[in-house]
Amino acid sequence: MHLHPRTTPRRRRRILVGAVSAALLCTSGATALPAAARSAAPAARPGEAPALPGDLAATPPMGFNNWNSTHCRPDFTEEMVKGIADLFLDKGLKDAGYQYVNLDDCWALPERDADGQLVPDPQRFPHGIKAVADYVHSKGLKFGIYTSAGTKTCSDIGFPGALGHEASDARQFAGWGVDYLKYDNCNNQGVDARQRYLTMRDALKATGRPIVYSICEWGENKPWEWAADVGHLWRTTGDISDNWSSMLDILKQNLPLAPHAGPGHWNDPDMLEVGNGGMTDTEYRSHFSLWSMMSAPLLIGSDLRTATAATYEILDNKDVIALDQDALGKQATVLESTDGRWTLVKELANGDRAVALFNETDTAQKITTSATAAGLPQADRYRLRDLWQHTDQHTTGAVAADVPPHGTVVYRISAEGKTPGAGRSGS
């Protein structure tokens, strides 16, 4: 294991990369903990925790977040955000299932007002946050915002965090019409992670507004073990970067956590980099396929205003999206991994199986498995739907593909002509 610096502007973090877990450490300056946070009541025991709002995030959230494409640059403005909402409709992304248009860091002024309220940056958002939320809602979409479970957010500029201000900030977000909160982990003053995130969860619940709650704790304290009744999704790793190595590292950290994911509580391996330019289209198809197989939130991280036709084709693949959004909500598991040849299997609500044949290596590979190994019952034949070629084939059981370097072939497999008396095997 080793430390390496993250080069994303305005966020000084380090990512500890390992085979199973990662810790993301904020190195920005700490400030004094507000008295309200120091005197916070102890966190409720799991058995006493109030339930999250029902029916939220029954499938992994889909939408957009500006961070990967704009960071804190001047082009992060209300006009950009409105333009993204327009493109959701114009390019068919809303019809494909994308619904959240989310702001990340740098939307506020560095200081609260005299009443302790957050103040939107008037240069970026001259009409305020509520006006932007109203615009997004007018398109039939939902609106998200960002803050940190600390005294400051993650930007070096030092925008106000919510630690010690949870109730007030939650009311402000609800009043603006926020539908989704990404709650980061910088400048947390060492306050117990579960306690920090419970406090905001309860503050959001007290507003009475249904708000999807995204815990961005970077997997430091294994939130998959304690956050199922705290948030709707939780980051399992450090921040993704727009390169093959980063995507691969995060994949390998998130895959073993499949038992912890399900409707209303998802593992989050971070946002999509599809279209940002650091990978090939083949690699982006793998990225999108693997995130969908893992039931990951699908939050577009590229600037849709300048996206290529190939990027839109990847993001709009409804056959692959259907795997991510499958009602059963089972994250794919690893059936086999040998010398960079991966076979992932995902059980689907109608009894089908999705099988991803993923080639991690730099040379073409033939990857094989079988329908019964994927968990389907014995049958006379099976239908294989190639979800990228959008073609069908039939097989008596063999599942195979010649997979290009860094490529992924995804099949949706269903049994046809079942043998009498054959029983379904589980996965």
357 and 265 fall within a common domain: no
If asked whether residues 110 and 159 sit together in one domain, one would say yes
Q: 427 and 353 in contact (C-beta within 8 Å)?
A: yes
Domain boundary (324, 354, 374) is at 324
User: Could you tell me if 266 and 130 lie in one domain?
Assistant: yes
The yes-or-no verdict on residue 274 having pLDDT over 90 is yes
CATH number assigned to the domain comprising residue 361: 2.60.40.1180
Is the same domain home to 125 and 230? Answer: yes
Alpha-carbon gap, residue 154 to 105, rounded angstroms: 7
pLDDT of res. 418: 63
pLDDT at residue 419, rounded to an integer:
56
Q: Rounded mean pLDDT of 234-257? A: 98
**pLDDT (0 to 100) of residue 11:** 41
Same-domain status, 357 and 380: yes
Q: Over 60: is that where the pLDDT of 171 sits?
A: yes
- Under the banding of pLDDT at 50, 70 and 90, the label for residue 201 is very high
Instruction: Identify which has the larger pLDDT, 426 or 17.
Output: 426
The pLDDT tens digits of the residues spanning 279-334 come to 999 999 999 999 999 999 999 999 999 999 999 999 999 999 999 999 999 999 99
Which of 295, 324, 353 corresponds to the end of one domain? 324
Using one digit for the tens of pLDDT, what is the confidence trace for 20-76?
333 332 323 333 333 333 333 333 333 344 456 568 999 999 999 999 999 999 999
pLDDT, position 21 = 33
Give the model's pLDDT for residue 54: 66
Residues 81 and 176 both lie in one domain: yes
Q: Do 366 and 266 fall within a single domain?
A: no
Report the pLDDT averaged over residues 176-188. Answer: 98
CA distance 379 to 314: 33
Which residue reads 């040379």 in tokens? 363
Co-location of 243 and 320 in the same domain: yes
Active-site residue list: 184, 239
According to the model, what pLDDT value does residue 365 have? 98
The answer to whether residues 145 and 227 belong to one domain is yes
Select from 296, 324, 352 the last residue of a domain: 324
Q: Looking at the structure, tell me whether residues 190 and 229 fall in a common domain.
A: yes
Please give the model's pTM, rounded to 2 decimal places: 0.88
Q: Is 265 inside any structural domain?
A: yes
Confidence of residue 417 (pLDDT cuts 50, 70, 90): confident
Domain that holds residue 294: 55-324
Q: Quick check: 111 pLDDT over 60?
A: yes
- Residue 4 in any domain: the answer is no
Domain count, the chain: 2
**Better-scored residue on pLDDT, 15 or 55:** 55
Q: For 348-393, what is each residue's pLDDT tens digit?
A: 999 999 999 999 999 999 999 999 999 999 999 999 999 999 999 9
Who has greater pLDDT, 80 or 44? 80
Query: Is the residue at 16 inside a domain?
Result: no
Q: What pLDDT does 284 receive?
A: 98
